[in-house]
Homo-oligomer: A and B are copies of this chain.
């Protein structure tokens, strides 16, 4: 992609409302533009990252055996009357009257709708288990939207719903999502820890939040340090097999949000392993049994002819929020440092002297080599000042930056900067593209392993 054809409206000044790094950098690098409080347009640079995150989430859901559908954003109020939530939900639900005066709403979540869909077609335990998911925009009319995409009103969420004929089977579905979530975040280059969450009146121990540890997190978490860096299931994991060992590996040590903090258990964690910090919630999984299937009469016949309410769970990932969490986890003073799997482009290519024949030719050759290898390149072919170009690339946070100029060409070199480590080095022109392509491909392979 040539920068001259792209649309990248970076900002020199930081808008006053941006209090945290991710919000600041997303506005400044032209990833998003606010349209109303908590409502953003995703400009091309932001859209590219959003799409990559969405695709990783999708691939790992498919791997775990979930099937994709897409529910609409607007829902009839009558559906929520079946579960009792139409009145109970509160002012965060965006309520709408259509032209006929019917009660509608912009879905903040989809338990009712998916239950209605599955109920209509599922009569026998033989049709179960089923795991269905969609990736769709949601709306929660937050009183005080803030922190950019971290707490917006219109946001993109992946929500999966599992349907089983027994609590034992429901646990298996839960473990699939538990393992899938570990893989999903790891593929994005994000270290997360599953921590026990509050099951509320439903009780039980099958609810976890996946949190990114970060200074600007909104929730307090307590955890045993030995949980950090544990093994994430690899790509060869059999999701139809026994996932109890994965669950055990990640839940046998103390980890909980402040809502469920257990002082007695916490006291048993050795002092030097106690970590009490802030976390950003990026995923939440919850087995809630028959909470919706019972009032909505979503039932199946079991092998012995009984009718039972389906056992359900729901599993959410904040897709748009993840951009904020990723930047909070990976940035310096100059901008984000995108992990290669979610970077808007893998490589930035700076031409220091557009119009110089040798520089133009070399840039075009490098660009073609990257594109041929499937390595995405943003080629700054503008006539802006060099300083402006370097600062803009840093602000965009592309993992690799290659700079081409007449002086380097004379010396037979291009400059290569690793945005993550900050290291710069001269690379011989011969083989430069191949070297960077290999770096990108190796890193991508490691992340998705």
Taking Cβ atoms with an 8 Å cutoff, the residues of A that contact B are: 5-7, 9, 30, 33, 35-36, 39-44, 46-47, 50, 65, 67-76, 79, 91-92, 94, 96, 98-99, 102, 104, 106, 113, 116-117, 120-121, 130, 132, 137, 139, 141, 143, 153-154
Q: Is there an interface contact between A9 and B121, defined as CB atoms closer than 8 Å?
A: yes
Q: Which residues of B contact A70 (CB under 8 A)?
A: 41-42, 47, 50
Q: Is there an interface contact between A104 and B36, defined as CB atoms closer than 8 Å?
A: yes
Known contacts: A33-B117, A130-B7, A137-B137. The answer to whether A69 contacts B98 by CB under 8 A is no
Q: Is there an interface contact between B35 and A76, defined as CB atoms closer than 8 Å?
A: yes
Q: Closest chain B residue to A76 by CB distance?
A: B36
Q: Is there an interface contact between A98 and B94, defined as CB atoms closer than 8 Å?
A: yes
A96 to B69, CA, bound (A): 27
Q: Which residues of B contact A47 (CB under 8 A)?
A: 68-70
Q: Is there an interface contact between B73 and A73, defined as CB atoms closer than 8 Å?
A: yes
Q: Which residues of B contact A141 (CB under 8 A)?
A: 98-99
Q: Is there an interface contact between B5 and A79, defined as CB atoms closer than 8 Å?
A: no
Which single member of B7, B76, B94, B104 contacts A67 (CB below 8 Å)?
B7
Q: Is there an interface contact between A154 and B74, defined as CB atoms closer than 8 Å?
A: yes
Q: Is there an interface contact between A117 and B36, defined as CB atoms closer than 8 Å?
A: no
Q: Is there an interface contact between A41 and B143, defined as CB atoms closer than 8 Å?
A: no
A35 to B91, CA, bound (A): 23
A91 to B91, CA, bound (A): 25
Q: Is there an interface contact between A69 and B91, defined as CB atoms closer than 8 Å?
A: no
Q: Is there an interface contact between B94 and A69, defined as CB atoms closer than 8 Å?
A: no
Q: Is there an interface contact between A72 and B35, defined as CB atoms closer than 8 Å?
A: yes
Q: Closest chain B residue to A45 by CB distance?
A: B69
Which A-B residue pairs are the 10 nearest by beta carbons? A9-B121, A42-B70, A36-B76, A41-B71, A99-B141, A91-B99, A72-B154, A39-B72, A44-B67, A47-B70
Which single member of B30, B33, B69 contacts A41 (CB below 8 Å)?
B69
Among A41, A44, A75, A117, residue most surrounded by chain B Cβ atoms (within 10 Å):
A41
